[in-house]
Amino acid sequence: MTKRDFDAVVVGSGPNGLAAAITLQQSGLSVLLLEAKATIGGGLRSAELTLPGFVHDICSAIHPLAAESPFFKTLPLQAHGLEYIYPPVAAAHPFDDGTAAILGKSLTETAHLLGADAQAYQNLLAPLVKDWPGLATAVLGPLRIPRNPFAMARFGLNALTSANFLANRYFKTKKARGLWAGMAAHSIQPLSNATTSAIGLVLMAMGHLHGWPMPKGGSQAIANALAAYFISLGGKIEPNTYVKSLKELPSSHAVLLDVTPKQLLQIAGHQFSSVYKWQLQRYRYGMGVFKIDWALAGPIPFNAPEVRQAGTVHLGNTLEEIAASEKLTSRGHHPEKPFVLLAQQSLFDATRAPAGQHTAWAYCHVPNGSEKDMTAAIENQVERFAPGFGDIILHRHTMNTAQMQAYNNNYIGGDINGGIIDIGQLFTRPALRLSPYRTSAKGIYICSSSTPPGGGVHGMCGYHAARRALKDVFNIRATPSL
């Protein structure tokens, strides 16, 4: 090959950009990683957003997929300062009557607490928990023939259904249906959509296999550990480098872009075929989020004591209420009682707040591009299940969809998933191609959450894109092969 400044350049230092850069560097290449902001990490940054001493996760907060990522698990991240904290309860779902359902480490115990739905819960989750170690790489990757086709078929029969369908098929009790709805609502779609069961099933399996951890000190710790490992391999990182065009990049044999289709067209569209550009232009983004971080005088006073043991809390009461809220939001409305995802990291990580005080993190879904202030709606939902919450708020920091996008250009209209993952984009993300990571231009790849397997902190989009580039451009089969 002709000598270049670098073998490969990766644009964007989110978890996928970092994973791509590491995979390439592990194969002996010279790799440059460029980041537009002063701090690396993309959705993995943490900062004192409210008051001094209160550390908040700016975007992602709880990381079951990061801790169990098939790629991240091969890396010595603990040696580079990463430590996970596992709350006693992965997630809790309170109800108006003061009770709550929980996702605990024990599948049997969790099922037992669901009463009449105990056996149905076991029937649904036990096979997936058993099969997951052999399914992880197939589920968290592009469409291909799995190593265990029977286990994959068993998962797929449930995963491709709508959350509403699966609930009606398996569950009768308010607790089981509500717990399931909160899990499935992580799909950021109406629960009547096909495939909304997939994320709920995976999240529940993660809870029973290992729990839902948080990184000690904040989500930034994951990015810092990945970056430190990359640098230890000889990689180079340049922050404060906003790339608007390929012409601004140093010469290389391959370019991998941790961006969504909108930015990909802006940066490299002139290089693409008309058909590929047409497909990218038709790419669809999903609902956005409105987010709040709080500095608190004390722990959130949830009515149900088990909720105070959970790192993550889903606020939405019944399945019917959550389904109605998500449906309204998808149609461009702002529900009075939105589904709220809340994390209370400082209950388990003393580094997040001054002694005796606490932090909390929450968001609700809103129409893409909405700039409506949802502070009151979110705080009313917290107060509903934790009377007196308003009295302990010391300070708050809010971000609407425009501010989310300004913070991270990949969050188009506040969409934190890199595009909706519905049935129309499940297998054609971001375009219909033999490899979703290849663009139509030689040597240019997309490695963001707009490629399979989609959103979440797991690095698998970047890992798979880098392996594709290694094979295409450098005739190298990357290790590790997951």
**What is the secondary structure of 2-51 as a DSSP string?**
---SEEEEEE--SHHHHHHHHHHHHTT--EEEE-SSSSS-GGG-EE--SS
pLDDT the model gives residue 464: 97
pTM of the model: 0.96
Does the N-terminal peptide bond of residue 480 adopt cis geometry, omega within 30 degrees of 0?
yes
pLDDT the model gives residue 252: 97
Q: Tell me whether the CATH fold assigned to 6-82+215-284+410-474 matches the one assigned to 85-213+286-407.
A: no
**What CA–CA distance (Å, rounded) separates 253 from 473?**
7
Q: Using alpha carbons only, what angle is made at residue 356 by residues 350 and 360, rounded to the nearest 5 degrees?
A: 65
Q: Indicate the domain borders of the chain.
A: 6-82+215-284+410-474, 85-213+286-407
CB of 375 closer than 8 Å to CB of 271: no
Which helix (H) or strand (E) segment holds residue 433: the answer is none
In the CATH hierarchy, which fold is given to the domain comprising 85-213+286-407? Polyamine Oxidase; Chain A, domain 2 (3.90.660)
**Quick one: which of 366, 367, 364, 368 has its CA closest to 379?**
364
Cβ-in-10-Å burial (0-12, 13-18, 19+) of 206 comes to buried
CB of 299 closer than 8 Å to CB of 344: yes
pLDDT the model gives residue 146: 82
pLDDT the model gives residue 477: 86
Distance of alpha carbon 268 from the chain centroid: 26
**What CA–CA distance (Å, rounded) separates 14 from 280?**
21
Using 50 as the pLDDT threshold, list the residues of the chain that sit under it.
none
Contacts of 247 (CB under 8 A, 6+ apart): none
**Quick one: which of 444, 60, 114 has its CA closest to 249?**
444
DSSP string, 136-152: HHHHTSSS---SSHHHH
Q: DSSP character for 438?
A: B
Query: Which residue type, as a one-letter code, is found at position 282?
Result: R
- The CATH code belonging to domain 6-82+215-284+410-474 is 3.50.50.60
> What are the structure tokens assigned to 111, written together?
């099922």
**What CA–CA distance (Å, rounded) separates 63 from 69?**
10
> What are the structure tokens assigned to 390, written together?
């308003």
Output b/e per residue, 299-334; b: 16+ Cβ within 10 A: bbbbbbebbbbbbbbbbbbbbbbbbbbbbbbbeeeb
**What CA–CA distance (Å, rounded) separates 163 from 330?**
15
**What CA–CA distance (Å, rounded) separates 127 from 121?**
11
**What CA–CA distance (Å, rounded) separates 350 from 334?**
35
3-state secondary structure of 297: coil
Q: DSSP character for 454?
A: -
pLDDT the model gives residue 481: 78
pLDDT the model gives residue 2: 67
For the chain, the residue count is 482
Pairing of the two strands 84-85 and 214-215: antiparallel
Q: Give the bridge partners for 291, in sequence order.
A: 363, 399
The sign of the dihedral angle between the CA atoms of 316, 398, 190, 135 is negative
Q: DSSP character for 124?
A: H
Rounded (10°) angle between helices 163-170 and 174-184: 160
Residue entry with tokens 């959350």: 163
**What CA–CA distance (Å, rounded) separates 338 from 325?**
6
> What are the structure tokens assigned to 354, written together?
């001054």
**What CA–CA distance (Å, rounded) separates 32 from 179?**
44
3-state secondary structure of 238: strand
